[in-house]
Chains A and B, each alone.
Chain A
């Protein structure tokens, strides 16, 4: 159980290899869902309960669903899957092979699983501050602070997302 974070990160990379070997978007979306679930569980294991559940709700339950519907509208007759051509299969196998070699190398070190981030001693998202209880969860209070201290960032991010959709419509309009 001490290696849970390391195992989840390895599973995350393998999920990413699954869609970066470029199958058809339907299968890429499937790999995204799997790696999204694993990513949420990583966030949950680091103590960010609110963040992980919010990501499940918004990312997987909102954006992924919309992505799945749009790719289902644009589907072709014989979509390219992982075993259908040598390119996608080759990319998948090379990626998985490199990940396996990396895992073997990390496990062979003296101080195992401390390569970039200390996997075994990640802290919890709790801040020991504030009147009253003295304990604030970092992630949920951050979502509240987004509309307080981070008001400008919300305005900028919202405007950028709106302009993104606007730009796509302008480009696709074609006249």
Chain B
């Protein structure tokens, strides 16, 4: 992208999300979502090739369909209740339409098919913005409508998201597709406690953004987009090869690491509301997620793929690519569990 065009595009993307999160009128919330989507399309097409054009078109079609359904829900809600404020109770049919529209925007099952394909067709930094920044505005709207959401349908969407995200990521070798399926799974987890305790959703979102940002920036260092390219990390940046292990285990939710904390809180919220089957099903489904992260750890640091003899001698030991924020992000994404009482002030 032209460097003169970048300030306007990025400013509009950020402004769109800010308008959605800070507005109390439904119309302005919708306008913010549209502004965000419109300014995100050239970011998806940073490198112009037919694959990124296809990804941008798929993203645009899905998001504009979701915006249309959301606008229909907003107008039906106004017809039924006369209310334009986002904080008031939404009637049930418009609330169902709103939940469908926001599930389409977030990439929850059964509307999840675009997430791996759009994440795959774009550069790593665009994929990072797609899976982290673009989730903020729809989740802020879901937070505001959480009293009127139908519990049964939301829990169905969440369970389906976890199942589809886990099963879909099993046969992947492309790292961006793996992170796309991981995003679908985490969206399922996030939406489980929206009706019980919406602050846990925001907490899970925060931890998820930290983990996904760490993962994407680490992959961006060696520009690796497939498992095969990831297996050369031991040669390219030796210090990162063993560090991928705790990051990925945290993303999968293993106990002494940060990624376990939000899952623990969600399971606690659900069991406090006498629901035992659903957290069990979701935990078992997420184990499949952990399995393909483990496969990545195996190829990165636990084994050496056969290579030619030249690659076994690294002649350039100084890392020439700057590492933006990676050390503090790795620490945050693995070591936050001991200070969890400080983080869980909403309990």
What's the minimum C-beta distance from B231 to chain A, rounded to whole angstroms?
A: 33
- Asked if B48 is at the interface of the complex by the 8 Å CB criterion, the answer is yes
Asked whether A78 is an interface residue with its Cβ less than 8 Å from the other chain, the reply is: no
* Interface residue total, chain B, C-beta cutoff 8 A: 20
- Beyond A164-B38, A174-B48, is A157–B31 a contact (Cβ under 8 Å)? yes
Interface residue B283 (Cβ < 8 Å from any Cβ of A): no
What residues on A are CB-neighbors of B15 within 8 Å?
159
Q: How far is the CB of A157 from chain B (nearest CB, A)?
A: 7
Say whether A160 contacts B34, CB under 8 Å: yes
Interface string of A160-175 (1 = CB under 8 A from B): 1001101100110111
Q: Give the size of the chain A interface in residues (CB under 8 angstroms).
A: 14
User: Min CB distance, B37 to chain A, in Å?
Assistant: 10
Asked whether, in the complex, the Cβ of A167 is within 8 Å of the Cβ of B31, the reply is: no
Q: Is residue A115 within 8 Å, beta carbon to beta carbon, of the partner chain?
A: no
Contact: B12 with A163, CB < 8 Å?
Answer: yes
B41 close to A (CB within 8 Å): yes
Contact B28 A153 (CB under 8 A): yes
How does the 8 Å CB contact mask read for B26-45 relative to A, with 1 for contact and 0 for none? 01100100110011011001
**Contact residues in A for B35 (Cβ distance below 8 Å):** 156, 159-160, 163
Contact B12 A159 (CB under 8 A): yes
CB distance from B124 to the nearest CB of A (A): 20
Give A157 to B9 CA distance when docked, in angstroms. 16
Q: Mark B5-27, 1 if CB is under 8 A from A, else 0.
A: 10011001001000100000001
| Cβ-based interface call for B56 (8 A) | yes
Point out the residues of chain B lying under 8 angstroms from A170, CB to CB.
Answer: 1-2, 5, 9, 42, 45
A163 and B31 contacting across the interface, CB-CB below 8 Å: no
Main secondary structure of the interface of B (DSSP, over half): helix
Chain A residue nearest to B5 in the complex (CB): A170
What residues of chain A lie closer than 8 Å to B56, measured between beta carbons?
A: 171
> Which of A153, A164, A166, A167 has its CB near the most chain B CB atoms (within 10 A)?
A167
In the docked arrangement, what's the CA distance between A164 and B9, Å? 10
Q: Are B12 and A173 in contact (CB under 8 A)?
A: no
**A174 to B52 CA separation, bound complex (whole angstroms):** 11
A171 and B31 form a contact (CB under 8 A): no
Residue of A nearest to B31 (CB): A156
With a cutoff of 8 Å between Cβ atoms, the chain A residues found around residue B31 in the complex are: 153, 156-157, 160
Which residues of A sit under 8 angstroms from B1, Cβ to Cβ? 170
Q: How far is the CA of A153 from the CA of B39 in the complex (A)?
A: 18
Contact status A166-B8, CB under 8 Å:
yes
A175 x B48 contact (CB < 8 A): yes
A167 touches B38 (CB 8 A): yes
B-contacting residues, A116-175, CB 8 Å? 153, 156-157, 159-160, 163-164, 166-167, 170-171, 173-175
* A160 and B48 contact, CB distance less than 8 A: no
| Residue of B with least CB distance to A153 | B28
B77 to chain A minimum Cβ distance, whole angstroms, is: 15
A116 closest partner in B (C-beta): B79
How far apart are A175's CB and chain B's nearest CB, in angstroms? Answer: 7
Measured between alpha carbons, how far is A164 from B36 in the docked complex, in Å?
11
From B2, B9, B27, B28, A167 is in contact (CB under 8 Å) with B9
- Tell me the residues in window 76-95 of chain B with beta carbons closer than 8 Å to chain A beta carbons: none
Q: Please give, as numbers and ranges, the residues of chain B lying within 8 Å of A171 by CB-CB distance.
A: 41-42, 45, 56
Chain B residues with Cβ below 8 Å from A159 are 12, 15, 35
> A173 to B45, alpha carbons, bound, how many Å?
11
